[in-house]
Chains A and B, each alone.
Chain A
Amino acid sequence: MDELRRVILDYVVKEYLEEGDDREVVVDTPLITGGIVDSFSMVSLKRFLEKKYTIQIPDAEATPTAFDSVERIASLVERIRGARAGA
């Protein structure tokens, strides 16, 4: 697993799993449809990514589908960073 996925995965586990919740979360574990993250508490994850990687994730892209796994989130971050680097 690369650094980006590791950082996101660590944040998800720390921010969303309750104490005593022993569910295993891996890069393609469904987060929102799996009931680990709800759309209400998703905003802190979005803010974390924006701050950590100094990017702006447009609200239209911060959808429950785009945030449904660490893998998808990482792809989104890569795309936004790539677009910026290319610009």
Chain B
Amino acid sequence: MADAVEVEQGCLARVRQHFRQELDGLRNAGLFKEERFIHAPQAADIEVEFPAGATPRQVINLCANNYLGLSSHPEVVAAAHAGLEARGYGMSSVRFICGTQDIHRELEQRLTAFLGTEDTLLFPSCMDANAGVFEALLGEQDVMIADRLVHASIVDGMRLSKAMQDTFKHSDMAHLEEKLQEHQDKRFRLIITDGVFSMDGDLARLDDIVALAERYGAMVFVDDSHATGFIGKTGRGTHEQKGVFGKIDIITTTLGKALGGASGGCVSGRAELVEMCRQRARPYLFSNSVPPVIVAGALKVLELISRTTERRDALEENTRCWRRLLTEAGFDIKAGESPIVPVMLYHAKLAQDVARDLFAEGIYVVGFFFPVVPKGQARIRTQLSAAHQKAHLDRAIEAFVKVGRKHDILNKSKKAITERYGL
């Protein structure tokens, strides 16, 4: 008995030692992630405690995916309260045993109508939707051809599928076409892309992709997590913006960003494909779905954004204004039309320093660097919200200019920045 305890302690000691070293390695490499505690509902103005134990301070949030400003919208909160009262807190079951309420199906139908598809299946998250969909639908005779910058959850989902994997250079249609030609011997070809790319904020060339898919007999998969609710004239997503509404075979998207921001995701698309996910997708089969309170909130979100385009219009206006302010101030930004606006700094440490200085000035942003973005492409990703007022953007640009001057990066080319700071 005493021996067993000692052995266990020895083992645990080794395990701890191993992971302490790994964690130290992350710290030394500057890759250690720390949470910042927010003492308020999600909004444009929030109170943040950082580092842990510091007195919370008021900052402007420029890094949330709260694109439509609905995360704490009073009507959404009220609908969630009502849903909690009417349908309870939890289901204590996966969907196919006794975890499906009438409102789950209602939300699926509303999403189908909004996205312009044939059917929809809810998942606990979009990460789960992406983890389940490829394995459920494709087999050894098939090939998945993905843009190289797709989200990590798609990469993981592809790894779980038995289908052959291939990739094409980011948004490079000639390369995609080569791959489609190369894989003409497969049973099914599935082209996989994000609608809006989360790190660069650029839109997939869905019109060209659909044309290639038609020419070479392929299906198209789009993860529209950073688009649903606001990209396109009525906010349906990237397929609306690119004129291919109704032509996408599979769309996955999240309830965790513009659509209220709580959690949940879905697979939406051709009826048979969605039904097969209902039969086979493991994250759907073996994990509880979104709880009633979130379903009720999401139903209200869809009602609000189907009623008027006011919020996505305000977001578009904020995006235009913020892009103009940054450009006029002399920052190097990735051109584009989405509310994801990366401010390029190229150097990892510089990105971290600028983010830290901005926080001290009351602006909450985060620096991104390798391996999240390619080497030498470090940046600060700013994200707009319909909840931002002009005054927020004015205050933010003031802080950006002050910090930009301090680091001498205004009106500097990539070459000048990297010569001074390195890559």
Contacts and interface: CB of A to CB of B under 8 A. Distances in A.
Nearest to B165: A43
Contact of B167 (A18, A35, A44): A44
B174 to A, nearest CB: 9
Contacts of B371: 35
Contacts of A43: 165-167
Nearest to B158: A40
A49 B376 CA distance: 29
Contacts of B105: none
Interface string B370-406: 1100111000000000000000000000000000000
Contacts of A19: 169, 172
A35 B374 CA distance: 6
B370 A35 contact: yes
A16 B374 CA distance: 13
Contact of B375 (A18, A35, A41, A47): A35
A35 B376 CA distance: 9
Given A34-B375, A35-B374, A35-B375, A40 B172 contact: no
A10 interface: no
B314 to A, nearest CB: 35
Contacts of A41: 148, 167
A40 B167 contact: yes
Interface residues on A, range: 10 to 19
A48 B166 CA distance: 11
A40 B376 CA distance: 19
Contacts of A40: 146, 148, 155, 167
A18 B155 contact: no
Contacts of B170: 18
Interface residues on B, range: 10 to 19
A71 B166 CA distance: 23
A50 interface: no
Interface string B146-167: 1010000001000000000111
B278 to A, nearest CB: 28
A83 to B, nearest CB: 25
A41 B172 CA distance: 14
Nearest to A17: B169
Given A43-B166, A44-B166, A44-B167, A38 B375 contact: no
A18 B166 contact: no
A53 to B, nearest CB: 17
B73 to A, nearest CB: 37
B141 to A, nearest CB: 16
B140 to A, nearest CB: 14
Contacts of A47: 166
Contacts of A38: 148
A38 B370 CA distance: 12
A41 B165 CA distance: 8
Contacts of B169: 16, 18-19
B348 to A, nearest CB: 12
A67 to B, nearest CB: 15
A47 B167 CA distance: 12
B41 to A, nearest CB: 36
Contact of A18 (B165, B172, B376): B172
Nearest to A42: B167
Nearest to A34: B375
A44 B166 CA distance: 6
Interface in B249-308: none
Contacts of A44: 166-167
Contacts of B167: 40-41, 43-44
A19 B168 CA distance: 12
Most buried by B among A16, A41, A43: A41
Interface string A1-34: 0000000000000001011000000000000001
Q: Shortest 10 CB-CB distances between A and B: which pairs?
A: A35-B375, A41-B167, A43-B165, A40-B155, A41-B148, A35-B374, A44-B166, A18-B169, A35-B370, A40-B167
10 contacts: A16-B169, A18-B170, A18-B172, A19-B172, A35-B370, A35-B371, A40-B146, A40-B148, A40-B155, A41-B148
Given A18-B170, A35-B375, 6 more contacts: A19-B169, A35-B370, A35-B376, A40-B148, A41-B167, A44-B166
